[in-house]
């Protein structure tokens, strides 16, 4: 169910992989659920991709939107662990403040806009 | 005087500077003639602040007197998330993203803090610590979905984990964010990323016999905006907007879907804040504490 957040699409294309994705927007609850499907079960980039999504959405969306980011059910070997990390606000903030991770995320986002 | 008619204003009295990263939690020492405040931060430290009283009468500090940082505890290896004083104000507990929980003993009338115990057991970030309101039993909760109970049997400062509340004893299935006790200490409520509040009975008699400390009492399922649970009456107040940050450090609202708690020391009301911008208040519709099935 892809809705009007088409501007967010470029970020879903990670550097080397094509991802299948779905975005569900609940306008009444101001809630967005994004699911993405890494192409391989043991994709080590899964958390980075999720972080990129968060970083980009933080820039684009009004503050009051709540975003849940998950991998598509069954698409990743560490699905629960990845989902949990991506939705722990404190961990996400800490990750995005880590200079190495931030640089990686910035590079991913930057290359997508070209 | 009608409280609603009076215009209430908050005035900043002091700004305590010293931490080099965000301050996650603060807590007042419950006793002491001079106000002592503990704070913890993303800079991996805990700071103790004391109000220096310049008045001629010892023990009578006024609000205007300056606070100074009398001690900085630097042992944690990662962000310190929470601080908690025990009822006597003689121990300070801290917990951190480094997965450990530390207990510090207060010496020298509040000027010295010695490490009394380093409690390892959580397998992931420890999110909050809370002392029992009357006994020197420490509770901690974590990203590892568990709540751990720490106690020193012989009073010699040798704290051990005496119980772990996890899914196998009706515990949470995701990160446990907060713990809160009622004033008597016979009930504890915890909230979690699994969208539930769980109310636990702490059996004091069982505590003394060392058999176990808490068993799950009621599980409240939260479904974002609307809430239904047999046996509980609730008042639902919805506040929209950017979210509200603390009054006196008791109420917090976050933008994620987790649920947080406040101490429920008046009339057994539990107040919780959640990432859907709502504050919810709960009371038990039955006043006798019988076990009900979740």
Q: Is the pLDDT of residue B172 over 70?
A: yes
- Report yes or no for ipTM above 0.90: no
How far is residue B83's CA from residue B183's CA, in Å, rounded to a whole number?
18
Decide which of B62 and B200 is more confident.
B200
Q: What is the pLDDT of residue A64?
A: 75
Q: What is the pLDDT of residue A44?
A: 81
Q: How far is A29 from chain B (nearest CA, A)?
A: 8
Q: Does A91 touch chain B (CB under 8 A)?
A: yes
Q: What is the pLDDT of residue A27?
A: 67
Q: How far is A47 from chain B (nearest CA, A)?
A: 17
Strands (E), chain B: 23-28, 36-41, 46-51, 67-73, 80-85, 91-96, 101-107, 112-119, 126-131, 138-142, 147-151, 160-165, 176-181, 187-192, 196-202, 214-221, 232-238, 259-261, 270-274, 278-284
Q: Does A28 touch chain B (CB under 8 A)?
A: no
Question: Angle formed by the axes of helices A46-60 and A99-113, to 10°?
Answer: 70
Decide which of B65 and B291 is more confident.
B65
Mapping DSSP to helix (H, G, I), strand (E, B) and coil, where does residue B51 land?
strand
How far is residue A91's CA from residue A101's CA, in Å, rounded to a whole number?
12
Distances from the Cα of B149 to the Cα of B142, B159, B186, B212, B218, angstroms: 12, 10, 14, 9, 19
Contact B97 A88 (CB under 8 A): no
How many angstroms separate the most distant Cα atoms in chain A? 37
How far is residue B78's CA from residue A48's CA, in Å, rounded to a whole number?
21
What's the pLDDT tens digit per position in B101-141?
A: 999 999 987 789 999 999 999 999 999 999 998 889 999 99
- Return the closest-CA partner of residue A17 out of A86, A81, A112: A112
Dihedral angle computed from the Cα positions of residues A96, A102, A105 and A107, in that order, rounded to the nearest 10 degrees: 160
Nearest to B242 among A64, A89, A91 (CB): A64
Q: Does A89 touch chain B (CB under 8 A)?
A: yes
Average pLDDT across chain B, whole number: 73
Residue with tokens 């300070």: B92
pTM of model > 0.90: no
Residue A22 burial (CB count, 10 A): 13
Check if the beta carbon of residue B172 is closer than 8 Å to that of residue B190: yes
Q: Does A42 touch chain B (CB under 8 A)?
A: no
The pairing of strands B270-274 and B278-284 is antiparallel
Q: Does B124 touch chain A (CB under 8 A)?
A: no
Nearest CA in chain A to B258: A88
Put simply, the chain A residues between 48 and 87 with a CB less than 8 A from any chain B CB are 63-64, 66, 68, 84, 87
Nearest to A66 among B42, B79, B275 (CB): B275
Average pLDDT over residues A6-27: 51
On chain A, the residues whose CB falls within 8 A of the CB of B175 are: 84, 88
Q: What is the pLDDT of residue B204?
A: 56
Mapping DSSP to helix (H, G, I), strand (E, B) and coil, where does residue B271 land?
strand
Dihedral pair phi/psi, residue A76, rounded to 5°: -145, 140
Residue B148 burial (CB count, 10 A): 23
Strands (E), A1-114: 20-26, 31-37, 66-71
Q: Does B172 touch chain A (CB under 8 A)?
A: no
How far is residue A42's CA from residue B257's CA, in Å, rounded to a whole number?
27
């Amino acid at each position: 169910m892809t809705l009007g957040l088409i501007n967010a699409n470029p970020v879903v294309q990670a550097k080397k992989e094509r991802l299948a994705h779905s975005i569900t927007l609940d306008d009444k609850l101001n809630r967005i659920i994004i699911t993405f499907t890494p192409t391989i079960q043991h994709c080590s980039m899964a958390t980075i991709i999720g972080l990129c999504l968060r970083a980009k959405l933080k820039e684009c969306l009004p503050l009051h939107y709540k975003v849940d980011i998950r991998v598509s059910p069954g698409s990743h070997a560490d699905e629960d662990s990845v989902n949990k990390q991506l939705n722990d606000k404190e961990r996400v903030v800490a990750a995005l403040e880590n200079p190495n991770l931030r640089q990686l995320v910035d590079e991913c986002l930057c290359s997508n806009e070209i | 005087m009608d409280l609603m008619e009076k215009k209430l204003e908050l005035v900043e009295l002091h700004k305590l500077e010293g931490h080099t990263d965000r301050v996650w939690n603060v807590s007042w020492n419950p006793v002491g003639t001079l106000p002592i405040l503990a704070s913890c931060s993303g800079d991996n430290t805990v700071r103790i602040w004391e109000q220096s009283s310049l008045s001629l009468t010892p023990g009578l500090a006024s609000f205007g007197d300056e606070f100074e940082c009398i001690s900085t505890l630097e042992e944690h290896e990662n962000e310190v998330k929470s601080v908690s004083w025990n009822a006597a104000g003689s121990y300070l507990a801290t917990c951190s993203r480094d997965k450990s929980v530390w207990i510090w003993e207060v010496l020298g009338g509040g000027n010295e803090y010695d490490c009394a115990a380093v409690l390892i057991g959580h397998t992931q970030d420890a999110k909050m610590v809370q002392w029992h309101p009357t006994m020197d039993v420490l509770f901690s909760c974590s990203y590892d979905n568990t709540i751990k109970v720490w106690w020193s049997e012989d009073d010699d400062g040798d704290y051990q984990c005496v119980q772990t509340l996890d899914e196998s004893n009706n515990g949470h299935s995701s990160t446990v964010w907060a713990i809160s006790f009622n004033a008597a200490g016979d009930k504890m409520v915890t909230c979690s990323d699994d969208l539930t509040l769980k109310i636990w009975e702490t059996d004091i008699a069982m505590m003394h016999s060392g058999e176990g400390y808490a068993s799950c009492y009621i599980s409240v399922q939260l479904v974002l905006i609307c809430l239904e649970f047999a046996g509980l009456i609730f008042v639902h107040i919805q506040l929209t907007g950017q979210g509200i940050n603390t009054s006196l450090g008791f109420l917090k609202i976050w933008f994620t879907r987790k649920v947080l708690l406040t101490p429920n020391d008046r009339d057994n009301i539990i107040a919780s804040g959640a990432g859907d911008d709502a504050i919810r208040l709960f009371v038990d519709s039955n006043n006798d504490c019988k076990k009900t099935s979740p």
